[in-house]
Structure 1
């Protein structure tokens, strides 16, 4: 029979162990609370859909690397061993570039055109499935699928990602998360608010594959927009959409891209166009075409140029293996040859 003194020591050790576990649990809770509070403060004053001012000075001008794209229908060359390394997408914890390559990709938009489409099974058959921001799959799997390989997320969507972390983060099953944002918020010298919060989130959830777009790469995205549209992003008060980043990343990542839910650029000009919600998961939200047209015509303040971007995507689809479904459409061929300017190499 153990002595009372031994029992007391055992009880003391158990009590000490319990206090230690409680302190660790409290530390995690405080870290999550701090992160969420700072994000709420940052985005509460700006608005979920609003833009953040970027630094006024651009220290260096970086041009995207031009390359001659393959002809329509031509297969991309087989990647050598060790290829698939995508520079400019940096892991938050290890600061290493993303290594990823897919033969076939389903790029799933957040459009209301996907409601009732029953495209989920077809989407999940793709090698890689790419989604945007906080677009959910739970409850919508029949229409949008359940698989997620990559999620491209705007800085302004982090609050909603955290709010739905049980579905979008904890159930990621190896998905890669790429966050983009203005350079001032993504700097790695301790002054980048978004980057600091991504680091904290990744430390608490180390199994997540969290990446950010580097400043150098962000300048390339700006240069690409100017080359493809002839418009300077800042002068025209334009904010590149998450769709712009996602499509361009997909062209670096995928050999074949099937896009689901993206309308052609002239869709909203038709007075009899189908009216659908801007987001499939917000059925009572704004109308898609109303959102597109108001942003395209907006001049005061910064706006997304959704229709302009879709004209670029239409043009890319004449060269690269990009196909559009729900609605199903393909670009009409143009006379002559396409200029050499192309998406990021």
Structure 2
């Protein structure tokens, strides 16, 4: 009887492995695991007569589903299979079998994401490669050509870009918002000029090989600058007393855990009335009772609009306004810039300097009214909320109280500073052994982490610079400083490399139009708490 059970056990294990690799090559090839595969595996489990034989099979099923979902999220990284249990067999497969698997992924690894109705996806594939792995670019007869991978354009422009299109914004700018007002938390860089001319890489016909090569060259320039920013980081001050070492350094998280999961695991959130110590403090009673967004189920598309100078001339206003949720930052105006940045604003993320300093007029400026506000201040690393409420970087609490008393029906929230530093930890874990600046993430990256749990996908506008890069800090000011784009205080280089790693859009969308597309990850992938939160 034992021999019979042993044979049954071994044969079923082998059958599951066969189905497993069948799913990898065929099920994932079509973008979905076939339902019949699950039914067949379920039948194997149900046919086992004793529980001792069900347990290992259930474990294998779990890892099988996890791994296939992992591959679907990061299709270019087939090597991720080798990290999990029960997958060492892949290393021993014949080379021909490996090549078949790799070929299947390279040809069919795209993820379909529904775009706003006004901008359906283009039907032709574009050049795109993983931006973090710059070695994917190769030279052919002196021309840089990106490796082929099927990813879709985020939109197709149907209107004439020269046609006048203006939707007047109801927002009124804050005091001095369009002038050279102080820019929060930006240390001036010595290098205020760009080291290359982005206009040389502009192109309009994405189907031409010349345009694709120009885009690939520009992409290489941008990523090189980001990576160099990480390498050149030396003797940076540690004002916030940050002491953190990634749990898995560069050996695990960077290679095997999806970047979007690192972002989600940080759990950037708003403070609520019930959160101690605010449940016993006067300011806690001023926190809105409502959630950040009213109708979560109605949210289909979201846009995050940076304040980058490269938005000038973008003509993306209509595209931005077509989204259900539109996030903007600090005092970035829309009046007079509707053609480029749109007129719709759902939520604004403000740092504590904007809330505190008189020149931004937070308590009375109309730009901060009739809109959801999410304000943040980092505080010291690992400080308690009680201490943070007394020793914040900038005393945002005084003006927050005035604002809430003046507008009791307003939706003004404060972001949990602990979650801001968890986000920084996620960044450091993504980069691995190379240290990043020990300063809090930028408002843009905090906004991305705050919004991602609510949105099936997010279009991030001009976060990674396009060929419209002009060296200006903001589209509404004339100040020239490359540090605004590549970082001199925030860990911007690490942020943007991580955003590129999560990106689903093709290179033309990212580097010619200035649009990243980031999808909310499957819950099955995330929540493993590798970071120890």
TM-score by length of 1: 0.59
Residue 314 of structure 2 aligns to a residue whose secondary structure is: coil
Correspondences of 1:15-34 after superposition (within 5 Å)? none
1:205 to 390, 407, 419: 407
Q: Does 1:246 align with 2:447?
A: yes
Q: Does 1:134 align with 2:327?
A: no
Q: Does 1:176 align with 2:372?
A: yes
Cα gap change, 1:87/1:144 in structure 2, threshold over 3 Å: closer, same or farther? closer
Cα gap change, 1:325/1:204 in structure 2, threshold over 3 Å: closer, same or farther? farther
Q: Please name the residue that 2:461 is paired with.
A: 260
Residue 118 of structure 1 aligns to a residue whose secondary structure is: coil
Correspondences of 1:1-345 after superposition (within 5 Å)? 48-49=184-185, 56=241, 88-90=269-271, 93-94=286-287, 96=289, 98-100=291-293, 101=296, 102-158=299-355, 159=357, 160-162=359-361, 165-170=364-369, 172=370, 175-183=371-379, 187=385, 191=390, 193-230=395-432, 236-263=437-464, 274-282=469-477, 284-287=478-481, 289-293=482-486, 295=488, 303-318=489-504, 324=510, 327-328=513-514
Greater helix proportion = 2
Question: Are the aligned partners of 2:334 and 2:341 in contact in 1 as well (CA < 8 Å)?
Answer: yes
Greater strand proportion = 1
Number of equivalent positions: 255
Cα separation, 1, equivalents of 2:312 and 2:447: 21
Cα separation, 1, equivalents of 2:287 and 2:257: 33
Q: Please name the residue that 2:33 is paired with.
A: none
1:204, CA displacement in angstroms? 1.7
Cα separation, 1, equivalents of 2:437 and 2:341: 34
Cα separation, 2, equivalents of 1:215 and 1:279: 26
Cα separation, 2, equivalents of 1:57 and 1:330: 30
Structure 1 unpaired stretches of 5+: 1-45, 72-85, 296-302, 332-338
Question: Are the aligned partners of 2:348 and 2:373 in contact in 1 as well (CA < 8 Å)?
Answer: yes
Cα gap change, 1:315/1:169 in structure 2, threshold over 3 Å: closer, same or farther? same
1:109, CA displacement in angstroms? 0.7
Residue 98 of structure 1 aligns to a residue whose secondary structure is: coil
Larger radius of gyration: 2
* Post-superposition CA distance 1:263-320 (Å, at most 9, x none): 35xx79xxxx8424110011x2124x3544462xxxxxxx22322211100001149x
Question: Are the aligned partners of 1:186 and 1:194 in contact in 2 as well (CA < 8 Å)?
Answer: no
* Post-superposition CA distance 1:236-263 (Å, at most 9, x none): 4333111111122222221121122233
Q: Please name the residue that 1:77 is paired with.
A: none
Cα gap change, 1:238/1:146 in structure 2, threshold over 3 Å: closer, same or farther? same
1:53, CA displacement in angstroms? 8.1
Cα separation, 2, equivalents of 1:308 and 1:279: 20
Structure 2 unpaired stretches of 5+: 1-181, 188-236, 248-252, 261-266, 273-283, 518-524
